[in-house]
Amino acid sequence: MNDQLAIHGGPKTKTTPFGTGRRFGFEEIKELAEALEQNTLFYHHGGKVKKFLEDFNSLYGVRYSVAASSGTAAIHVALGAAGVTIGDEVITSPITDQGTVVGILYQNAVPIFADLDPHTYNLDPVSVEARITDRTKAIVVVHLAGNPCDMDAIMEIAGRYNLKVIEDCAQSYLARYKGRLAGTIGDYGCFSTNDFKHISTGDGGIVTVNSGREEDFLVAHAFADKNYMRFGTDVVRHISTLAPNYRMTELQGAVGIAQLKKLPWICERRTAYGDRITAGLQGLPGIHPHRVEAGNTGTYWFYMLRVDEKELGCTRAEFSEALKAEGIPNTPGYIPDPVYMQPLFQQLSAYPGSRFPFDLNGTTYERGLCPNAELILQTAVRLSVNEFHTPQDIDDAVAAIRKVAIHYRKECLGMS
């Protein structure tokens, strides 16, 4: 076998195109036509959003959930329903989508970032506990890339300090923590159906209300709809606190019904493919696979390995370029820097011309705040995992990673 790297003129590892497929079909069209035939697209009058939530509830084994207009909105609804308010501190992950922190800031609460486990890329419970103060009200855990976070430890800490736990499940449909579905363990589970997630309704979100108590459901439901109470005989518009309009439309609900039917298959494929990459990388020097703890099930929104630059004797950029040349698309890192390095946090400029709400408790954000998170983003290489890929695609990706890693390792040891 010619093991010269493609980037040096050797043969490319991947010579066939990656598998592709269509996410939407007649199932969605039929549901959409029915939604329009209702002659209303309002969620509370039509049947589609209701059916979408019913199906979601039975898939997840929960009694109550609320629809929202996005994943960001879903997280804001959970925070609002949890009573998060001005000056509260909410502990969360520094490697996540902006949507995780938007609702915190709109409640005029202060995001506090805890550090991560170096290989699962999820919140480290020890760091979470170290960041708790008198002002801490809630923890928003992010099950990054479909990999469940250490929920026993998080729930134990939350119980001791009387904190609410919100699970950001935007990337973690049907992921399981010790057999339990991510999103059903904390007080609220928040999902996104934006167009890039496991399932899409264009945009949309869902919040599970895990206490199973009707009063908690009504509070969360109202928070997504201007605090209107729609479940009596008349709509109650007697508003005492502020809430946004984050309603989902019947069109999104309709597409969601059809998408949800495909979700178990999508997640099974992704679990199989992600785990297949990890198995293929076993024992490879200089490469840290994406760790899913034993007993958990990851549903891989993406696969993110880490490169040990010293052990490989190449930079992350060189590794990424070489892998790309082998025919395996990949991205160095995920977000460029932890969320707290954004100008918004560096300049404390959530609201123009003001340092509110950061000035309430004097919070500032410096480089070095979460060293593991910073290092993860400097050394990670992200591969796409997709349900339409074929087992051959995965094996080609593994072969390419092995080829590139072994090449640089040998060169580093002076063996080539």
Ligand X SMILES: *Cc1c(COP(=O)(O)O)cnc(C)c1O
For the bound state, the minimum distance from the C-beta of residue 301 to ligand X, rounded and expressed in Å, comes to: 7
**What do you get for the CA distance between the two ends of the chain, in Å?**
15
Catalytic residue among 30, 197, 310, 324: 197
For the bound state, the minimum distance from the C-beta of residue 263 to ligand X, rounded and expressed in Å, comes to: 16
Q: Is 376 in the site for ligand X (CB under 6 A)?
A: no
User: Please, are residues 220 and 207 in contact by the beta-carbon 8 Å criterion?
Assistant: yes
Contacts to ligand X from residues 144-173, by CB under 6 A: 168, 170-171
The residue count for the chain: 416
Does the annotation mark 197 as catalytic? yes
Q: Is 70 in the site for ligand X (CB under 6 A)?
A: yes
Nearer to ligand X, 164 or 409 (CB): 164
Nearer to ligand X, 100 or 210 (CB): 100
Nearer to ligand X, 143 or 164 (CB): 143
For the bound state, the minimum distance from the C-beta of residue 74 to ligand X, rounded and expressed in Å, comes to: 7
User: Out of 13, 100, 136, 249, which residue is the one contacting ligand X (CB under 6 A)?
Assistant: 100
Nearer to ligand X, 72 or 372 (CB): 72
User: Out of 28, 31, 89, 97, which residue is the one contacting ligand X (CB under 6 A)?
Assistant: 97
Residue 2 in tokens: 């010619």
Q: State the binding string over 196-235 for ligand X (x if CB under 6 A, else -).
A: -------x-x------------------------------
Nearer to ligand X, 166 or 325 (CB): 166
Q: How far is CA 174 from CA 40, 199, 299, in A?
A: 31, 11, 7
The alpha-carbon radius of gyration of the chain (Å, integer) is: 23
Per DSSP bridges, beta strands 380-383 and 180-181 are unpaired
Residue with token string 């250490």: 150
Residue 257 in tokens: 């019904």
User: Out of 5, 116, 128, 142, which residue is the one contacting ligand X (CB under 6 A)?
Assistant: 142
For the bound state, the minimum distance from the C-beta of residue 186 to ligand X, rounded and expressed in Å, comes to: 14
Question: Applying CB under 6 A, what is the total number of residues that bind ligand X?
Answer: 15
Q: How far is CA 334 from CA 298, 300, 304, 349, in A?
A: 18, 14, 8, 24
CA-closest candidate to residue 97, choices 221, 191, 226: 191
Q: Is 71 in the site for ligand X (CB under 6 A)?
A: yes
Q: How far is CA 351 from CA 80, 137, 252, 301, 364, in A?
A: 19, 22, 31, 32, 15
CB atoms within 10 A of CB 296: 21
Q: Is 366 exposed, middle or buried (0-12, 13-18, 19+ CB in 10 A)?
A: exposed
Q: What is the phi-psi region of residue 111: left when phi exceeds 0, alpha when psi lies from -120 to 50, beta otherwise?
A: beta
Q: Is 96 in the site for ligand X (CB under 6 A)?
A: yes
Tell me which residues touch ligand X (CB under 6 A): 70-72, 96-97, 99-100, 142, 168, 170-171, 192, 194, 203, 205
Hey, which residues are catalytic here? Answer: 197
